Amino acid sequence: MRKTLLFVIPVGLLVALDQLTKYAVAHYMRVNTALSVVPGFFNLVYVRNTGGAFSLFAGAGNRLVVYALAALSFVVVVAIAYAFAKTRKADTWARVAYICVAGGALGNLIDRIRFGEVTDFLDFHVGTLHWPAFNVADIAVSTGAVMLLVSLMRTK
């Protein structure tokens, strides 16, 4: 039970932070608008991403893509929960990584189920070169993935 709570509570907090930030953006901004925060480097934007990571498959106009991405997210969360349960207590690094990936995947899964798309709002750029807009869930998934790679390299 304790191990379950050590997974569910931080995952829930990540999901709540992700959903709260997306709600704030949707509440205070109009779709496809931008607010310059650090001119020439960082904007808050409000965009809706129908695709996957880095807008992969975005604009495909196919509900099947949305359902496939939602199903994939669900499978990832189940697999991550299983991996977390099998991870040794001493392997804090991997456990935190699993929490990050699961929290981020669930945050975006909620958007896909509710809206058929994901709200992105963080826009980093240098001049006209833009990194695809992303959100808190994307940060969590990316951070967790890097942590898992480091964990794998440390154990080899």
- Give the pLDDT confidence of 69-86 residue by residue, as tens digits: 778 888 989 999 999 999
The domain containing residue 146 runs over which residues? 2-155
124 burial class (0-12, 13-18, 19+ CB within 10 angstroms)?
middle
Question: What pLDDT shows up at residue 107?
Answer: 96
Q: What is the mean pLDDT of the chain?
A: 89
Q: Spot the catalytic one: 18, 111, 123, 138.
A: 138
The model's pTM: 0.87
Nearest to 154 by CA among 93, 90, 83, 99: 93
Instruction: Check residue 30 and give its pLDDT.
Output: 97
Name the domain count of the chain. 1
Mean pLDDT value of segment 6-26: 97
Token pair for 2:
């304790």
Mean pLDDT along residues 119-137: 93
Task: Show the tokens assigned to 7.
Answer: 């997974």
Residue 65 pLDDT greater than 60, yes or no: yes
Of the residues 18, 111, 120, 123, only one is catalytic, namely: 120
- Examine the pLDDT at 150 and tell me if it is beyond 70: yes
For residue 111, indicate whether it is catalytic.
no
pLDDT value at position 4? 86
Cβ atoms of 120 and 104 closer than 8 Å: no
What span, in angstroms and rounded, lies between the C-alpha atoms of 104 and 141?
5
Is the predicted pLDDT of residue 137 greater than 90, yes or no? Answer: yes
- Model confidence at 36, in pLDDT bands (50, 70, 90)? very high
